[in-house]
Amino acid sequence: MVKIIKFREKYLKNIIELFLEGNVIAFPTETVYGLGAIATNKEAIDNIYRIKNRPTNNPLIAHFSDLTLIEKDTILNENAIKLADVFWPGPLTIILRKSLQCRISNNALSGLDTIAVRIPSHNIALSILNELKLPIVAPSANPSSYLSPCNAQHVKKSLGKKIKYIIDGGSTIIGLESTILDLTSDKPALLRYGSITQEQIEKVIGKIEVKEKEHKIIAPGMLDKHYSPICPLRIGYDNPRNNEGLLAFGNDVPSESFAVVKNISEKGDLYEAARNFFSALHELEDYNVSSIATMLVPNVGIGKAINDKLKRASYL
């Protein structure tokens, strides 16, 4: 039986021990819940891949408490330092070359000589990382290609039979995975949309490119099917189907009859929509609808990340 640990400062020492013993533990970050293991523990990392049913060619993100630790495992460049100054701790993941003395286990990096790093801003994640003084590698705490988790119950629903511990820190504040930026070549490239936008990044380091689908797949968040509920999902909402749920946005919601409607932001606020996005899809999935119809959101700022996830979830 999975144990859900409601986080308290006094449990911190025990939580650190559980990590040091090699457990794989779900924990909250500001984006989504992660499935974490100490980044130097090969067996624990193998277990993450098994538990998630994740292809071993899909590398993990390493989470750090501060830049001085990142500096040991990576080769920091000027752009990374500028971005770190503005966005860390926070929901930006940066791909860097790994350093010669990098301690992160190779199986977390799928044998690559690059490494995805970030400093999360969630107080529980940061407390653990500060106390541990070692990086934690963590993908999102969901089975590969299914809905991401934004609270402890989401993790329990899909992985509760496969893991021993979930640290419960309530609902995540952002609700979408971190933005991923590749800084390993002279041309910075956005690999995954998130709450930190292209425009925000460009204000700090100048023009960046966005890697579109037809490019070689670098981050499997760029694979076609991803972030999917267990039932089919379609973009659009004409002609409601039998027992169909609707993921809605804004106050101009179609009046056709759906089995259930979840509105991610009636007032049309994209940040609220991001926060409610995966939870609403989890709820629709739990409602046992046969399919989900969806409204797209305005394709600006964080809205790009929401629409991108909807498109990937709708791939069948």
Q: Which residues bind ligand TXA (CB under 6 A)?
A: 29, 31-32, 34, 58-61, 91, 93, 95, 112, 114-116, 138-140, 177-178, 180, 191, 218-221
Q: Which of ligand TXA, Mg ion, none interacts with 61 (beta carbon under 5 to 8 A by kind)?
A: ligand TXA
Q: What is d(CA 253, CA 263) in angstroms, rounded to the nearest whole number?
A: 9
Q: Which of Mg ion, ligand TXA, none interacts with 95 (beta carbon under 5 to 8 A by kind)?
A: ligand TXA
184 binds Mg ion (CB under 5 A): no
140 binds Mg ion (CB under 5 A): yes
- Binding-site size, Mg ion (CB under 5 A): 1
CB of 146 to ligand TXA, least distance (A): 11
Q: Are 95 and 187 in contact (CB under 8 A)?
A: no
∠ CA(169), CA(311), CA(265), 5° rounding?
50
Q: Which of 110, 87, 86 is nearest to 31 (CA)?
A: 87
Give the nearer residue to ligand TXA in terms of CB position, either 191 or 248. 191
Q: What is d(CA 127, CA 96) in angstroms, rounded to the nearest whole number?
A: 24
Give the contacts of 211 (CB within 8 A, at least 6 positions apart).
182, 189, 190, 191, 218, 222
CB of 240 to ligand TXA, least distance (A): 32
What residue is closest to Mg ion based on CB? 140
Q: What is d(CA 301, CA 255) in angstroms, rounded to the nearest whole number?
A: 28
65 binds Mg ion (CB under 5 A): no
Give the nearer residue to ligand TXA in terms of CB position, either 59 or 245. 59
Residue 130 CA: distances (Å) to CA of 63, 135, 202, 227, 286: 11, 9, 30, 30, 36
CB of 89 to ligand TXA, least distance (A): 11
Per CB under 5 A, the segment of 68-76, 102-110, 137-145, 303-311 that binds Mg ion is 137-145
